């Protein structure tokens, strides 16, 4: 594919930054030497990001300071004049492209001004359809709105008062890694020595989640591990950190067994094998590690289309809302949280249904208008907590699920978008910088497609067409 030109990345990122909030940083926008803003902010705070590492928290310490929220890129600019003329141009350009047979027989399309939320183009924009992974935009907006960008997910070890049993309790962090288990074990060993404890048994507690832990797509699917509150590296067995992979059939048990091994390595005599057991009421916390901040988890979710993190974020939203922490409870919590956002237009949630957080369930239903409304809200300077939804979107021809797309098209560096693919479903939703310097949010949903590659190229052509609009 053609090599990206610096001006494309700079222009695309800088204009996208104009819609985010006030403040000044480098004109390179949300990318700085390949590092996303939330990651850079966290590095500046001497934390580790991306879910790859976790902080140690010893018994009763002061909580770590939350990762600082990055200031907005530049002051938001008013939308260029001539919105009416642009709408006519978009109609002339987009309608023939939407008529492509590659996009199937059912469509929903929406383009809005990201600065104002004003509709610039629509075709069946209120029709609800299966969105595939573009539903992650709704999942992440809901989580950030409910919990804030600095929220972290805890994994905890609790010990019986006599120190004879320790329980590894999952808090819903699928990005927990072996380094985090090692830290938990070291802190637990220290606490047990202080208690003068001898041999200990190990249990693990996954009671935070309720309902089925197997997604409706079924067992053994390489797109998603069992949805449990305790796992290491998303239950991956090949050492990968993104994309499809074989998964362990027992992520919680594997995590507990790995923790027991780390305890033995830290000098603790562990008896028997770990068993599932809810922590007793009088158990005392002796160790804790925290995930990366929610802003970094959101970016990772969107850039890599990470299904495991998406399901975890939906359940964190359910926890915040006091709902059942299950597929059903998470879906209700996401819907209810989005209803509180004061979206740019009324009725955008009509017909919407969130069966899961990842978009793997065909029962998910959203409209293109809802997705563009959410993206416009994420660009609103009044909602800086949602910023990482925009900075996490893959950059066309450069990062994440769009890295290898847009060869020969006008979109590289100017389009940032979340992809969605299921059999017969192809979707794309994100932002684009027009020739006239306007940041627009778009969503194109196609159903009944028969050739995924052809559909993706047609969607990329649609998004690229926005970059040459006035």
* pLDDT tens, position by position, 387-425: 999 999 999 999 999 999 998 778 899 999 999 999 999
| Sign of the alpha-carbon dihedral angle for 391, 394, 396, 400 | positive
Neighbour tally for 60: CB within 10 Å: 8
In this predicted structure, what is the pLDDT of residue 386?
A: 98
Spell out the residues 6+ positions from residue 94 whose beta carbon is closer than 8 angstroms to its own. 109, 111, 121, 123, 462, 465
**Do 12 and 71 form a contact (C-beta atoms < 8 A)?**
no
Q: How confident is the model at residue 85 (pLDDT cuts 50, 70, 90)?
A: low
State residue 45 phi and psi, 5-degree precision: -85, 10
**Do 400 and 305 form a contact (C-beta atoms < 8 A)?**
yes
Q: Which residue has the higher pLDDT, 52 or 175?
A: 175
Cα gap 232→117, rounded to integer Å: 40
Q: List b or e across 164-195, with b for residues whose CB sees 16 or more CB atoms inside 10 angstroms.
A: ebbbbbbbbbbbbbeebbbbbbbbbbbbbeeb
Spell out the residues 6+ positions from residue 183 whose beta carbon is closer than 8 angstroms to its own. 54, 55, 56, 287, 289
Cα gap 82→396, rounded to integer Å: 27
Q: Work out the average pLDDT over 257-278.
A: 97
In this predicted structure, what is the pLDDT of residue 191?
A: 96
Q: How confident is the model at residue 266 (pLDDT cuts 50, 70, 90)?
A: very high
Structure tokens at 165: 């049993």
Neighbour tally for 140: CB within 10 Å: 31
Q: Which helix (H) or strand (E) holds 419?
A: strand 415-422
Q: List b or e across 329-347, with b for residues whose CB sees 16 or more CB atoms inside 10 angstroms.
A: bbbbbbbbbbeebebbbee
Tens of pLDDT along 326-370?
Answer: 999 999 999 999 999 999 999 999 999 999 999 999 999 999 999
In this predicted structure, what is the pLDDT of residue 387?
A: 97
In the block, tokens 């299904």 appear at: 307
CATH value of 154-290 in 1.10.357.10, 3.50.50.60, 3.50.80.20, 3.40.50.300? 3.50.80.20
Q: How confident is the model at residue 83 (pLDDT cuts 50, 70, 90)?
A: low
Cα gap 443→154, rounded to integer Å: 35
- Reply yes or no on domain 6-50+67-150+294-466 having CATH 3.90.850.10: no
**Which residues share a beta bridge with 255?**
none
Q: Work out the average pLDDT over 309-332.
A: 98
In this predicted structure, what is the pLDDT of residue 371?
A: 98
State residue 367 phi and psi, 5-degree precision: -105, 160
Cα gap 395→14, rounded to integer Å: 13
Q: How confident is the model at residue 12 (pLDDT cuts 50, 70, 90)?
A: low
In this predicted structure, what is the pLDDT of residue 10?
A: 46
Task: Using the predicted structure, report yes or no on whether residue 123 has a pLDDT greater than 50.
Answer: yes
In this predicted structure, what is the pLDDT of residue 411?
A: 84
| Sign of the alpha-carbon dihedral angle for 317, 332, 252, 141 | negative
| Sign of the alpha-carbon dihedral angle for 407, 130, 147, 378 | positive
**Do 357 and 311 form a contact (C-beta atoms < 8 A)?**
yes
Mean of per-residue pLDDT scores for the chain: 86
All CATH 3.40.710.10 domain ranges of the chain, comma separated, are 6-50+67-150+294-466
Q: Which residue has the higher pLDDT, 203 or 70?
A: 203
All CATH 3.50.80.20 domain ranges of the chain, comma separated, are 154-290
Task: Using the predicted structure, report yes or no on whether residue 207 has a pLDDT greater than 70.
Answer: yes
| Sign of the alpha-carbon dihedral angle for 437, 438, 439, 444 | negative
Q: How confident is the model at residue 194 (pLDDT cuts 50, 70, 90)?
A: very high
In the block, tokens 């996208």 appear at: 16
**Do 200 and 267 form a contact (C-beta atoms < 8 A)?**
no
């Amino acid at each position: 594919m053609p090599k990206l030109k610096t001006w494309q990345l700079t222009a695309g990122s800088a204009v996208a930054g104009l819609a985010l909030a006030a403040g000044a940083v480098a004109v390179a926008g949300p990318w700085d030497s390949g590092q996303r803003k939330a990651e850079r902010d966290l590095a500046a705070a001497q934390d580790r990001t991306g879910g790859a590492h976790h902080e140690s928290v010893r018994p009763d310490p002061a909580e770590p300071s939350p990762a600082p929220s990055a200031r907005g890129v530049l002051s938001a600019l008013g939308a260029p004049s001539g919105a009416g003329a642009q709408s006519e141009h978009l109609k002339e350009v987009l309608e023939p492209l939407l008529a492509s047979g590659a996009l199937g027989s059912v469509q929903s399309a929406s383009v809005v001004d990201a600065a104002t939320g004003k509709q610039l183009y629509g075709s069946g924009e209120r029709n609800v359809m299966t969105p595939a992974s573009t539903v992650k935009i709704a999942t992440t907006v809901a989580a950030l709105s409910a919990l804030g960008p600095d929220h972290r997910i805890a994994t905890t070890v609790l010990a019986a008062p006599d120190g004879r049993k320790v329980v590894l309790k999952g808090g819903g962090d699928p990005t927990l890694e072996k380094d985090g288990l090692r830290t938990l074990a070291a802190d637990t060993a220290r606490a047990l020595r202080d208690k003068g404890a001898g041999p200990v048994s190990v249990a693990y507690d996954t009671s935070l989640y309720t309902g089925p832990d197997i997604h409706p797509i079924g067992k053994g699917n390489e797109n998603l591990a069992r949805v449990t509150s305790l796992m290491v590296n998303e239950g991956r067995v090949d050492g990968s950190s993104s994309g499809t992979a074989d998964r362990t059939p027992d992520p919680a048990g594997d995590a507990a067994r790995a923790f027991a091994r780390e305890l033995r390595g830290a000098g603790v005599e562990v008896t028997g094998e770990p068993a599932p057991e809810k922590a007793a009421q009088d158990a005392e916390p002796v160790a804790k590690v925290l995930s990366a901040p929610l802003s970094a988890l959101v970016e990772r979710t969107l850039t890599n289309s990470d299904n495991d993190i998406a399901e975890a974020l939906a359940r964190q939203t359910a926890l915040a809302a006091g709902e059942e922490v299950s597929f059903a409870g998470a879906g209700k919590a996401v819907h209810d949280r989005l209803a509180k956002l004061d979206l740019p237009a009324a009725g955008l949630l009509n017909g919407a249904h969130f069966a899961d957080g990842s978009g793997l369930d065909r029962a998910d239903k959203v409209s293109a208008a809802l997705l563009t409304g959410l993206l416009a809200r994420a660009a609103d300077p009044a909602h800086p907590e949602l910023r990482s939804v925009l900075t996490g979107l893959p950059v066309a021809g450069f990062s994440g699920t769009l890295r290898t797309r847009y060869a020969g098209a006008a979109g590289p560096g100017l389009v940032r978008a979340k992809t969605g693919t299921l059999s017969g479903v192809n979707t794309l939703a994100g932002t684009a910088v027009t020739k006239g310097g306007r940041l627009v949010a778009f969503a194109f949903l196609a159903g009944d497609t028969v050739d995924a590659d052809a559909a993706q190229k047609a969607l990329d052509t649609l998004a690229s067409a926005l970059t040459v609009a006035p």
